[in-house]
Amino acid sequence: MARQDRAGTRATQEDLVDVEALLRAYTETVPDPDDIDQQVAFGTSGHRGSSLDATFNEQHILATTQAICDYRAGQGTEGPLFLGKDTHALSIPAWRSALEVLVANGVDVWTEGSEEEFTPTPAVSRAIIAHNLEGEAPRPEADGIVITPSHNPPRDGGFKYNPPHGGPADTDATGWIADRANELLRGGLAEVSRVPLEEALQSVQTYDFMGEYVRALPRVVDVEAIREAGVRIGADPLGGASVAYWQAIADEHGLDLTVVNPDVDPTWSFMTLDWDGKIRMDCSSPDAMASLIDIMSGEGGGSYDVATGNDADADRHGVVTPDGGLLNPNHYLAVAIDYLYGGARPDWPRGTAIGKTLVSSSMIDRVARALDRELTEVPVGFKWFVPGLMDGSIAFGGEESAGASFLCRDGSVWSTDKDGIILALLASEIIARTGRSPSQRYADLVAEVGGGQTPAYARIDAPAGREQKDRLKKLSADDISATEIAGEPITAILTEAPGNGAAIGGVKVTTENAWFAARPSGTEDVYKIYAESFRGPEHLAQVQAEAQQVVDAALGG
């Protein structure tokens, strides 16, 4: 899909969402429970939608919250539920709706101190982990809800459930919750318990998400090294839930850290437009991060050794260096893995594996081989890393979409959901302890394990209807008739992830110097083709073209 002409430029008035209309539609619009597009549907990161499309409205949240109450009761989860929200306009009304149902069901809710306080996804995950694993005595297990559509545009809302392991719920849980929520919608919410907001607010407990998270950071990142080295950091929360966290981190740990943009605005009027002309808080996008990139490349760039960005719920990271600009997420994952497993965490058990999604760069595979470390390759979705992070068999799990987390310095679990804050801080730790920027280290890796050729990586979309997408999910290796891709013999055809045997919901095809993976979009009538070549951009283009032909043939298109 073509890049929009205004991509990377500041948003104008006509780009901004009508917040009043958005909030009005939240309560006034009633979704049709028999319309599949207006039902509750959990993707890889919870239920998302917009009140303007009848896909994220009060009835959705009431039904989904009741379904979560029913689910946790069935699972025997009796501890507190940690409830957090981000800065999207729909998050506050959804937070109110959730509170009314949770309290009516007798759930012990621990949440922020006010509507104007916001909580990143990793802080909720950390709170669940701390309660369930680090308490002095056994106590009823806690779980959590995060109200966020992540980096989605301002018109959207999102609702995620994190069970007692602290990470994203698996498909068994989300499938049950979605089915129950839709059943409740069809029943006119007759089985939904609810109390008035005023009563709900009097029943909740205030939890200091930010204080607990910020004080614990030295357990996972060497903030002392960052402070002693005097690394100059520019942190841009992109108007998201980490906005107060970064100043608190600077104050608590004495870091030379400036919050580049402390503004919170539900229209995100200060953002530059993403590649398609939409406002999207994607800290891995050069267009969405254009303002921070400009700061680092302009006269003010000398003020910082590194600049970082986070999306609206701070589960993703973006790293900008003076010499390399915005790092490709795959490049930074490779650098982070090389650094952490290469001696920076001596207390991690030697046998801990590296976790990556199968659409992440093969540079990670090469780094793993150079380090003589086991690589665990899983399908797309951070939920697949949760068991390994919980039991310590995986010390680092990373996705190509700039989401990752890793163990504490002593090898214990930190979070089981993506944590953009610690990945951002890790860039400063790398600078402090090695004297080199992550972009400089990536250039070294290209020479050391990449054969001197920076791999070319890209994702493109190809049209596909619902039936074609369903067929793509169910493809087998026998459905692929091709024997070579872009002049190289095919070495493997995968429909299950090598790391855990789980279905990948598509197909991955590899050659000696390239690979592609195709999987259906969960939100659009397209399928996504991820591809990479260690022979340069021209070879990548050939891989992409032939990949689409191979997949279309397999789908009968």
From the candidates 91, 150, 242, 285, which is the catalytic residue?
150
**If you search the block for the tokens 């990556």, which residue do you land on?**
356
Facing residues of 82 across strands? 110, 144
Identify the pLDDT of residue 521: 78
Query: How far is the C-alpha of 552 from the C-alpha of 135, rounded, in Å?
Result: 53
Tens-digit pLDDT profile for residues 23-72 = 999 999 999 999 999 999 987 678 999 999 999 999 999 999 999 999 99
- Going from N- to C-terminal start, the domains of the chain cover 18-207, 216-449, 456-556
Residue 298 pLDDT more than 80? Answer: no
Please compute the mean of the pLDDT values over residues 381-394 and round it to a whole number.
96
| Three-class secondary structure of residue 407 per DSSP | coil
Q: Which of 216-220, 303-307, 309-313, 457-461 has the lowest mean pLDDT?
A: 457-461
CATH hierarchy code of domain 456-556: 3.30.310.50
- Give percent of the chain above pLDDT 70: 98
Distances in whole angstroms, Cα of residue 52 to Cα of each of 88, 118, 170: 14, 23, 28
Could you tell me the fold of the domain covering 18-207? Alpha-D-Glucose-1,6-Bisphosphate; Chain A, domain 3 (3.40.120)
pLDDT band per the 50, 70, 90 thresholds, residue 8: very high
Contacts of 238 (CB under 8 A, 6+ apart): 261, 268, 271, 281, 283, 288, 309, 310, 311, 312
CATH hierarchy code of domain 216-449: 3.40.120.10
Identify the pLDDT of residue 428: 98
Please compute the mean of the pLDDT values over residues 192-207 and round it to a whole number.
97
pLDDT band per the 50, 70, 90 thresholds, residue 1: low
Identify the pLDDT of residue 469: 85
Identify the pLDDT of residue 301: 63
Contact 466, 542 (CB under 8 A): no
pLDDT band per the 50, 70, 90 thresholds, residue 300: low
Identify the pLDDT of residue 524: 67
More confident residue, 393 or 300: 393
- Look up 150 and say whether it is catalytic: yes
Identify the pLDDT of residue 2: 74
Tens-digit pLDDT profile for residues 307-331 = 999 999 999 999 999 999 999 999 9
Identify the pLDDT of residue 3: 87
Tens-digit pLDDT profile for residues 474-528 = 888 888 999 999 999 999 999 999 999 999 999 999 999 999 999 987 666 778 8
Tens-digit pLDDT profile for residues 112-169 = 999 999 999 999 999 999 999 987 778 999 999 999 999 999 999 999 999 999 999 9
Identify the pLDDT of residue 357: 96
- Give percent of the chain above pLDDT 90: 87
As given in the structure block, the two tokens for residue 65 are 């919250």
Residue 531 pLDDT more than 60? Answer: yes
Please determine whether the domains at 18-207 and 216-449 fall in the same fold group of CATH. yes
Residue 395 is classified by DSSP as E
pTM, full prediction: 0.96
Residue 259 is classified by DSSP as E
Tens-digit pLDDT profile for residues 395-410 = 999 999 999 999 999 9
Alpha helices in 119-189 (DSSP H): 121-133, 171-186
Please compute the mean of the pLDDT values over residues 228-250 and round it to a whole number.
98
pLDDT band per the 50, 70, 90 thresholds, residue 299: low
Query: How far is the C-alpha of 417 from the C-alpha of 408, rounded, in Å?
Result: 14
Please compute the mean of the pLDDT values over residues 229-240 and round it to a whole number.
98
